[in-house]
Copies of this chain bind each other. A is one copy, B any other.
Amino acid sequence: MEKPEVKRLLINYKTLEEFQNFREYGAPELSMKEDLQANIIENDSESPFYGIYYGNKLVARMSLYRVKGKFDQYFEPPQDYLELFKLEVLEAYQNKGYGKALVDFAKSFNLPIKTNARQRSDEFWNKMDFESVTYQPMRDRGENPYVWYPEGVKEQVLSQEQR
């Protein structure tokens, strides 16, 4: 099978229209829409979203956000890391390696990655070599955090107050 190509998505009305096919459509998408309507951002500027097209159709996507080291509560030593969210493959296109292609792309930055494993997706994240972290109620607030450690990085131990 040909390796799926991951593209950085452009902020424009076409991308927004494609996003409506995904289940997790919410604040980030609406924020993008408002920005476009208010012309705050240039049409076709780059978004934090990456995706895979099948022909002209967007069939998989994720968002990657770089969090600054001083806000890092997951990794030791504390450092800039990537928060990965809204990873989703349209149902008809699942089990074709598109999810893995997106995750491999995220890993290519060689920064630690944190995500929130939703709805019993643990098996997928384990296959991607992600690990669950010790659940800390104050920090994680109901999330199901999974992380990927590049070489030399490990889990951060939090102070009592941060937990």
Determine whether the beta carbon of A65 is less than 8 Å from that of B144: no
Given A24-B119, A85-B142, A135:B30 Cβ within 8 A:
yes
Determine whether the beta carbon of A27 is less than 8 Å from that of B85: no
In the bound complex, residues from chain B placing their C-beta under 8 Å from that of A23 are: 119-120
Stoichiometry (number of copies): 2
Chain A interface size, under 10 / 10 to 19 / 20 to 34 / 35 or more: 20 to 34
Say what secondary structure dominates the interface of chain A. Answer: mixed
In the bound complex, residues from chain B placing their C-beta under 8 Å from that of A48 are: 137
Determine whether the beta carbon of A145 is less than 8 Å from that of B85: no
Interface flag for A83 (CB, 8 Å):
yes
Binding site for B on A (CB under 8 A): 23-28, 30-31, 48, 63, 65, 67, 71, 83, 85-86, 117-120, 122, 132, 135, 137-138, 140-145
